[in-house]
Amino acid sequence: MEKRRGHRLMNQINVVPYIDVMLVLLVIFMITAPLINPGQIELPQVGKTSDPPVAPLEVSIHTDQSLWLRDRQKTTAERKVTRNELIQAIRQKQARNPQQAVVIAADKDVRYAAVLEVMDMLQQNQVKKVGLLAKPRSP
């Protein structure tokens, strides 16, 4: 009987040549990518935007149920107001800008009903943008 002197079959693939090819391709793409100019896009022209957003009015409700008003646009100090004065001030602002926002900042010890009363009062006077101001929690 003759012994076969054949070659042994390789059971693993040599991946080194594939890695070399991939590195060459990577270098080619890295060099050519910045040179490729995307198609020029002609953007449409737009007119001027409308008025910039207006800073909201801030209504503060203190623990003694007193109302304070601050105009953030004018950066004026808070002033104590009655409910009627508050309505008048907001109506004047709404006459100039119907989209004038109002934010309510209530002390954490103020009853929820007091905040709802102010929100209801604003809604009855056609204030469309009403928000609540809250202090973020510190971690």
Greatest alpha-carbon pair distance for the chain in Å reads 118
Which of 2, 15, 13, 105 lies closest to 63, judged by CA? 105
CA distances from 118 to 73, 81, 108, 109 (A): 21, 13, 15, 16
Q: Is 60 helix (H, G, I), strand (E, B) or coil?
A: strand
pLDDT at 18: 93
pLDDT at 129: 87
- Residue spans per domain, the chain: 57-132
Global pTM value = 0.57
pLDDT (tens place) for every residue of the chain, 139 residues total: 555 666 677 678 888 999 999 999 999 999 988 888 777 777 778 777 666 677 888 898 888 988 988 887 777 778 889 989 989 988 888 888 888 889 998 888 888 888 899 999 988 888 888 888 876 766 6
Q: Are 56 and 101 in contact (CB under 8 A)?
A: yes
* Domain covering 57-132, topology: Nucleotidyltransferase; domain 5 (3.30.420)
CA distance 64 to 105: 14
Residue with tokens 């100090």, as numbered in its chain:
77
